[in-house]
Amino acid sequence: MEAQIGLLRQLGAEAEFVDHDAVRVCAAGLGDDDPDPELCRAIRASILLAGRCSRGAEG
């Protein structure tokens, strides 16, 4: 989750944890900057790993 929040902040949004499983995001300041490639790689890797884990749980 930290990578996603970092990416939102890098793009100009405000993001903060409000609880252990909740995040508040304000996208009013969102710009059209290019996202940081390292943060994108981290997010992509976590999605791929989550997909592999969910397939293992199904059977």
So what's the pLDDT on residue 46?
A: 77
So what's the pLDDT on residue 12?
A: 93
> Domains in the chain: how many in total?
1
The one-digit pLDDT tens for each residue of the chain (59 residues) are: 888 888 889 999 999 999 988 999 999 998 888 888 888 888 887 777 766 665 555 55
Q: Computed over its alpha carbons, how large is the radius of gyration of the chain?
A: 14
Q: Which tokens sit at 34?
A: 């290019």
Chain mean position to CA 1: 5
Structural domain for 39, as ranges: 2-58
So what's the pLDDT on residue 13?
A: 94
**pTM higher than 0.85 for the full model?**
no
Q: Which tokens sit at 21?
A: 């499983």
